[in-house]
Amino acid sequence: MTEQETLKILQRPDLGVEAIAQAEPITVSREHFPWLSSEQMDVPTVHVKLEDGTTQFRYGSLVGCNPGTEKLAAEVPPQQSKNAEQGMFKALAALLNGQHATSVDSMSQYVAGDIPVFKTAKKGADVSRLYFAVTSDTDGQPLVFKLGVAKHKKQDSLLAILKGTPGEKRKKDGGKR
């Protein structure tokens, strides 16, 4: 995702984002995100201030850094994607202030890498799930990455990618992977 695309996505008050400004791109690597399609990638980021006025962080998207995550995100209807992003931004106000957020589940134990990962947890069978990571940049400022979004029925496919075991097919003889 380009810097302009990232800014365009975040310039939406209905997501709970009050103010935004461009930030420097950040280099991410397979060391922390093993499912990236390249060893290292530069990701555009923006400075975000939530509508509470006090919570600030840098934000970037890794969705376009893997063909599988990109494909799954493209299948999510726009309204479901927006709802999932709203859930993430609402949860970030609590998470970045050291509080528990009831609208997300911790997924760190299921995902490859060493950075805390969360999943939006809105109930229902017809909602999308958005996975995001919360860490900090070299200056200690909170840094949030959108990792992927998928329809409810395809969230296992997204999780398989984030685990570092993307969709291998079972052998024709019925054997396990």
> Do residues 91 and 109 lie in contact, with contact meaning Cβ atoms separated by under 8 Å?
no
3 state DSSP class of 112: coil
Instruction: Please compute the mean of the pLDDT values over residues 52-81 and round it to a whole number.
Output: 90
For the entire predicted model, the pTM comes to 0.82
- Range with lowest mean pLDDT among 2-6, 63-67, 83-87, 155-159: 2-6
Type and span of the H or E element at 110: none
> Do residues 48 and 137 lie in contact, with contact meaning Cβ atoms separated by under 8 Å?
no
Give residue 122's pLDDT band: very low, low, confident or very high (50, 70, 90): confident
> Do residues 50 and 92 lie in contact, with contact meaning Cβ atoms separated by under 8 Å?
yes
Question: 41: closest CA among 67, 62, 69?
Answer: 62
Instruction: Please compute the mean of the pLDDT values over residues 80-95 and round it to a whole number.
Output: 88
Report residue 148 as tokens.
Answer: 């992927």
Give residue 5's pLDDT band: very low, low, confident or very high (50, 70, 90): low
Q: At what angle do helices 67-74 and 155-163 cross, to 10 degrees?
A: 160
Instruction: Please compute the mean of the pLDDT values over residues 73-94 and round it to a whole number.
Output: 89
Question: Given phi > 0 = left and psi -120 to 50 = alpha, else beta, which region is 53?
Answer: left
- Spatial strand order in the sheet of 56-61: 17-29, 40-50, 56-61, 142-151, 128-136, 117-120, 104-106
Judge whether residue 118 has pLDDT over 80. yes
3 state DSSP class of 14: helix
Report residue 154 as tokens.
Answer: 């395809």
Instruction: Please provide residue 41's backbone torsions phi and psi, each rounded to the nearest 5 degrees.
Output: -140, 140
Report residue 75 as tokens.
Answer: 């299948």
